[in-house]
Amino acid sequence: MSEKKFPEGFLWGAATAAYQVEGGIENCDWARAAREGFVPRAGRACDHYHRYEADFDIAASLGHNCHRFSIEWARIEPEEGRFDEKEIEHYRAVLAALRARGLKPFITLWHFTLPQWFADKGGFEHPDAPEIFARYCAYVTRKLGNDCRHFATMNEPLVFASNGWRRGSWPPFRKWPGLDFLQSIPGHRRFRAQETSVRNVPRYFKVVSQLVRAHNAAYDAMKAAGFGVEVGLVHQVILFHSNWNPFNQLLASLMNWHWTHSFLKRVFKKCDAIGVNYYLHKKFGDTRAYEKTDMGWDVYPEGLCESLLMLRRYGLPLWVSEAGVADASDRIRADYIKRLVRCMYSAMERGADVRGYMYWSLLDNYEWAHGFEKRFGLVAVDYDTLERKIRPSAYVYKEIIEKNALVE
Ligand code: BGC
C-alpha cells in the first residue's frame, strides 16, 4: 500500500461560476445570445443564487475546505458606472456562508459573461476596456477585500478570445475564415450567428492584448485598494506533447509557447498566484485510441502533471482551479479524480508549488454552448425539481480529503 500525503494546509474543494449555476441573470451577453436563439438558455440554472447555503452544506459534508466561485459582473455593475450595493451584500452573504462552514473562498471576478452594456460597446475590443474592467475589479475588492483573500481577475482569457473571435462559437461569434477544422474539435458546435471575416484575425489579437492590459490594470487597481489580497489569473493549459519524433516535439513546444507561455509571460509579473485549469491535451504523432468523456475529450488526467511542471518557470504558487470530467453515469469520475490527485502529487514532488485543488464542478451546471446536457458535478442536479443528489464519486474524493492523502 502506498500513501501520497499532501502538505498540511493543502486545500481541497470544488469550483462553480456564476452564470453556470446561479440562475436569473438576464442582463449579460450570453443571456442576449440565448434570447436570440444562438446558445441554450441558462434560465434559473441550479438556482444557486437562492440555494447557496444548502449547496455549501453539501460541500462541507463532503469534507471540502475551500470553494471557488465567480461574481457576476452584470449584477454588480448593471449599467456603466452604476454599482449595485444590494448585489455586493448578496456576495458578502455568500462569503459569510462559506466561512461559517469552514470553506476558504476563492473569488473569480469575471468568468466569461459580460454585462450587456459593456458587450454593446464592443466589450474587450473597446479601447477603454482595460480601465473599465479594472474599475469593476477594484470596486469589488474595496467591498469584499475584508472577507476574501484569494482573488483571480479573469477565467481563461484565451478560451474566451478563441471561442469568441477565432472559432466563432461563443458571443460575439466572430470567426476566422477557413478554420472550419477548428470547429470539429470535439465539444464545439456550429452557430449560425457567426460573422466570418478576415478582419477577425487582427481583432482576435487585439482582444488578447486588451485582456493582458485589463488583467495588469486590474492587478494594480486591486493592490491599490489596500487589503493585501492575493491577485491571480486563471489560465486553461492545453497540454501539447508528442511521441519520440523530433519534428512533433518541436511542434508541441511551439504550440505550448503559442497557447500558454506567450500569454503568461505578459501577465505573470502582475500575478501573486496562477490558477491552472486542465481538461485537454494533444499528443502529436500519437495513435492511441483514448477513452472519451461525455464532452468527447480524451480521458487523460495525466496531462495535469506536465501542465503544472510547465508553469514552474513562473515561480508562483499554483492553484488547480479546475479539473474534472463530464460523466453523467459517474462511471469514470472517481478514478479520474484519483488519477488527477496522483499527478498533482508527482508534479509537487518535482517542484511545482501547488497549494490546492478545486474539482470542476460542485454541481451539474450550464455548460455554455452545450446547455445543461453535460454533467460535471460531484452533485447531480435534477433541473425539473432542482433536487441535488450526491454522486458516489464525491465520497471517493471525500476520503482523499479526510486523509489529506491518496492511499492506494
Ligand atoms: C470553464 C468552465 C467550463 C469547463 C468545462 C472551463 O473551460 O472555466 O466554465 O464549464 O471548462 O468545459
**Residue closest by Cα to atom 3 of ligand 1:** 367
CA of residue 2 to ligand 1 center, whole Å: 32
Closest CA to 389 of 66, 55, 36, 21: 55
- How far CA 223 is from CA of 187, 209, 284, 333, in Å, comes to 38, 21, 42, 39
CA of residue 201 to ligand 1 center, whole Å: 24
Residue 49 φ then ψ, to 5°: -55, -35
Q: List, as one string, the DSSP characters of 309-358.
A: HHTGGG---EEEEEE----TT-SSHHHHHHHHHHHHHHHHHTT--EEEEE
Ligand 1 pocket: which of 368, 373, 374, 381 to mutate (most atoms within 8 A of CB): 368
DSSP state at residue 102: T
Q: Residue 5: beta bridge partners? A: 405
**Pairwise CA distance, residues 137 & 157, whole Å:** 15
Residue 245 φ then ψ, to 5°: -65, 120
Ligand 1 pocket: which of 235, 321, 360, 366 to mutate (most atoms within 8 A of CB): 360
- How far CA 335 is from CA of 10, 145, 331, in Å, comes to 21, 37, 8
Ligand 1 pocket: which of 278, 319, 367, 376 to mutate (most atoms within 8 A of CB): 367
Query: In which residue are the cell numbers 477577425 written?
Result: 200
Output the ligand 1 site: residues, CB below 6 A. Answer: 17, 20, 155-156, 159, 236, 277, 279, 322, 360, 367
- The three grid cell numbers given for residue 97, joined into one nine-digit string: 456562508
**Residue closest by Cα to atom 5 of ligand 1:** 367
CA of residue 382 to ligand 1 center, whole Å: 20
- The three grid cell numbers given for residue 283, joined into one nine-digit string: 499528443
CA of residue 168 to ligand 1 center, whole Å: 17
CA of residue 153 to ligand 1 center, whole Å: 16
CA of residue 113 to ligand 1 center, whole Å: 12
Dihedral (CA of 390, 324, 123, 371) sign: negative
CA of residue 226 to ligand 1 center, whole Å: 31
Domain boundaries along the sequence of the chain: 11-403
pLDDT in tens, the chain (408 residues): 899 999 999 999 999 999 999 999 999 999 999 999 999 999 999 999 999 999 999 999 999 999 999 999 999 999 999 999 999 999 999 999 999 999 999 999 999 999 999 999 999 999 999 999 999 999 999 999 999 999 999 999 999 999 999 999 999 999 998 766 555 455 555 555 678 899 999 999 999 999 999 999 999 999 999 999 999 999 999 999 999 999 999 999 999 999 999 999 999 999 999 999 999 999 999 999 999 999 999 999 999 999 999 999 999 999 999 999 999 999 999 999 999 999 999 999 999 999 999 999 999 999 999 999 999 999 999 999 999 999 999 999 999 999 999 999
The ligand 1 atom at the shortest distance from the C-alpha of residue 17 is 9
Query: Where are the strands (E) in 212-287, listed by range?
Result: 230-242, 273-284
Q: Is 203 helix (H, G, I), strand (E, B) or coil?
A: helix
- The three grid cell numbers given for residue 206, joined into one nine-digit string: 487585439
Query: In which residue are the cell numbers 477594484 written?
Result: 138
- The three grid cell numbers given for residue 320, joined into one nine-digit string: 488547480
Torsion on CA atoms 284, 304, 315, 250, rounded to nearest 10: 0
Within 8 A by CB and 6+ apart from 286, the residues are: 242, 243
Residue 16 φ then ψ, to 5°: -145, 175
CA of residue 30 to ligand 1 center, whole Å: 15
The ligand 1 atom at the shortest distance from the C-alpha of residue 365 is 10
Closest CA to 322 of 276, 290, 254: 276
The predicted model scores a pTM of 0.96
CA of residue 317 to ligand 1 center, whole Å: 22
The CATH number of 11-403 is: 3.20.20.80
Q: Is 367 helix (H, G, I), strand (E, B) or coil?
A: coil
Q: What is the pLDDT, as a whole number, of residue 195?
A: 86
Closest CA to 301 of 285, 280, 287: 280
Decide if 105 contacts 148 (C-beta within 8 A): yes
Query: In which residue are the cell numbers 453535460 written?
Result: 374
**Residue closest by Cα to atom 9 of ligand 1:** 17
Ligand 1 pocket: which of 322, 361, 375, 378 to mutate (most atoms within 8 A of CB): 322
